[in-house]
Structure 1
Amino acid sequence: MLELSASQIGTWVGSFLLPLFRVAALLMTMPIIGTKLVPMRVRMYLSVAICLVLLPTLPPMPVVDALSLPTFMLIAQEILIGVMLGFVLQLFFHAFVMAGQIIATQMGLGFASMVDPANGVSVAVIGQFFLMLVTLLFLAMNGHLVVFEVLAESFVTLPVGVGLTTGHYWEVVGKLGWVLAAGLMLVLPAITALLVVNIAFGVMTRAAPQLNILSIGFPMTLVLGMMIVWIGMADILAQYQALVTEALQMLRELAGVK
């Protein structure tokens, strides 16, 4: 019969399970992999596989008592680190979703919504289009590999057993305003163009009151809005590169990676 001592269990818990909680927390909260489209069991298998690959390169882990209160505190800390890293990536993706929802509202497509299979909520069609576009760009440019690289280096810069400082928490909170700024920067040209269109319809209504602006203005705003979105796609790659560079830099700063 196999018998394990308390020190052997503590060594096994410290060397494998503690890093596994950080990896699993990131994969459960990050976009693409952490969505409802990927089954929970697949995410767990992927977490174990990544942890096994990282295990030979990780720094020495602390030996802990498997059922003690400090061990549970360490587990909570590792989960918190992984959740914070995934939360920064969620902010980046939702900047494009918010941009699409703002454009859809301005062009009259706010009522045209569909269920987002990744998050299980109803979003505007333009927002869902931007989300799929940024997902494909993120995977095509190996953004997920950069995330895994930052995750691996975070075990050196934020070792297991070293507590987080208050600055880490405030750093995550401070990034909330970045989503609004990034989303507005994406849609500012489209909003300006649609504002000019609405002003033109207002002048037409003032000049010809007998004109039924509701029957003419809505389809015209819709068509012009689609044209503005189509023209704006020419610059979407440059905007994506600027935002993803800033988001990944935020991720590296949060993990303390240089």
Structure 2
Amino acid sequence: MATFNIPLDAFYGVLLIFLRVVGIVFSTPVLDSATIPVLFKAALAIAVSVLLFPVVGSGVNVANLGLATFVIGILSEIAIGVTIGLSVKLLFTGIQLAGQIAGFQMGFAVANVVDPATSAQIPILAQLYNLTAMLVFLAVNAHHMFFSALVESYTLVPPLSLQLHSELVGMMMRLAANMFVVGIKVGAPLIAVMLLVTAGLGLVSRTVPQMHIFIVAMPLKILIGLAFMIVLAPYLTAFLIDIFSSYRTTLYELIQLMAGGR
């Protein structure tokens, strides 16, 4: 019978890497969807951890590793992974918010669909924007920045060496505030068009009181909104590509702050 002799230091090293990878896998966009089986996510995290162990090393000495230190190390590794995944999740939430605001202006807020990622009901246009962002995210290979950020995180923040910088909380708050900025930027053209259409319909209702403006307004808003979405689609794609390309710098700054700002 074949036996495997795995050094205890190597086992704990792979375990700490696995916890950080799990935090990213379960919190990052695309992979955080409830439609993806948990077993697949766990198997992916184990495979990535085993591949990363000879690349990044561990530096874990079991002889000097106490119970309290190990528990704190587990929590810190999970916190690092969740922080990296959450920082990008906020970006997708802002894009989804843009679709929700624009859908409310167009009249799509009355029709909701079930989001497979959260199992919650969201407007149709918000789901469309979210799926578009995910397709662009995968098409430009922006998901590769998670692997590069993961390897870079072990260079700056080795296992059991998390140092929380005072600016880390401030940066996460700025990323949360940037979610609303992204939402306004993505949805601004369509929101502005719907505002002009609403103002025009208001003028028509005042000049022609006999017209049933509420019956005319909803299909007209949907038609104009869909037409402008088709026109703005290339510009939206280019804007999303710019956002995802520039987010690599944000991830690097975030990892530096988790390394104590060094």
TM-score, normalised to structure 2, is: 0.90
> Could you tell me which amino acid in structure 1 is paired with residue 68 of structure 2?
L
Residue matched to 1:255? 255
| Separation of aligned partners in 1, 2:115 and 2:104 | 17
Deviation string for 1:68-105 (max 9, x for gaps)?
Answer: 01100010000000000000111121122111111100
Residue matched to 1:79? 78
Q: 1:212 to 1:60 in 2, by over 3 A?
A: closer
Which piece of structure 1 moves more, 13-22 or 60-69?
60-69
Residue matched to 1:188? 188
Q: Is the 8 A contact 2:14 2:58 kept in 1?
A: no
**Helix, strand or coil for the counterpart of 2:24?**
helix
> Could you tell me which amino acid in structure 2 is paired with residue 232 of structure 1?
L
**Helix, strand or coil for the counterpart of 1:114?**
strand
Q: 1:107 to 1:245 in 2, by over 3 A?
A: same
> Could you tell me which amino acid in structure 2 is paired with residue 190 of structure 1?
L
Deviation string for 1:201-237 (max 9, x for gaps)?
Answer: 1111111222211111121112111112121112112
Residue matched to 1:21? 19
Residue matched to 1:35? 33
| Gap runs ≥5 in structure 1 | none
Which piece of structure 1 moves more, 160-169 or 236-245?
160-169
Q: 1:234 to 1:163 in 2, by over 3 A?
A: closer
Alpha-carbon distance, 1:14 to partner: 3.5
Alpha-carbon distance, 1:17 to partner: 0.8
Q: Does 1:179 align with 2:179?
A: yes
Q: Is the 8 A contact 2:95 2:130 kept in 1?
A: yes
Residue matched to 1:143? 142
| Gap runs ≥5 in structure 2 | none
Q: Does 1:53 align with 2:59?
A: no
Q: Is the 8 A contact 2:142 2:245 kept in 1?
A: no
Alpha-carbon distance, 1:29 to partner: 0.7
Question: Aligned ranges for residues 1-258 of structure 1 at < 5 Å?
Answer: 9=8, 11-64=9-62, 68-165=67-164, 166-256=166-256
Alpha-carbon distance, 1:246 to partner: 3.1
**Helix, strand or coil for the counterpart of 1:123?**
strand
TM-score, normalised to structure 1, is: 0.92
Alpha-carbon distance, 1:256 to partner: 2.4
Deviation string for 1:175-212 (max 9, x for gaps)?
Answer: 10001001100111111111111111111111122221
| Separation of aligned partners in 1, 2:167 and 2:181 | 22
Alpha-carbon distance, 1:170 to partner: 2.6
Alpha-carbon distance, 1:164 to partner: 2.4
Q: Is the 8 A contact 1:88 1:247 kept in 2?
A: no
Q: Is the 8 A contact 2:137 2:241 kept in 1?
A: no
> Could you tell me which amino acid in structure 2 is paired with residue 246 of structure 1?
S
For these two proteins, the number of residue pairs brought into alignment is: 254
Q: 1:56 to 1:238 in 2, by over 3 A?
A: same
Deviation string for 1:127-168 (max 9, x for gaps)?
Answer: 111111111111121111121111111101112122322322
Q: Is the 8 A contact 1:22 1:79 kept in 2?
A: yes
> Could you tell me which amino acid in structure 2 is paired with residue 230 of structure 1?
I
Q: Is the 8 A contact 1:37 1:118 kept in 2?
A: yes
Residue identity over aligned pairs, in percent, reads 24
> Could you tell me which amino acid in structure 2 is paired with residue 147 of structure 1?
F
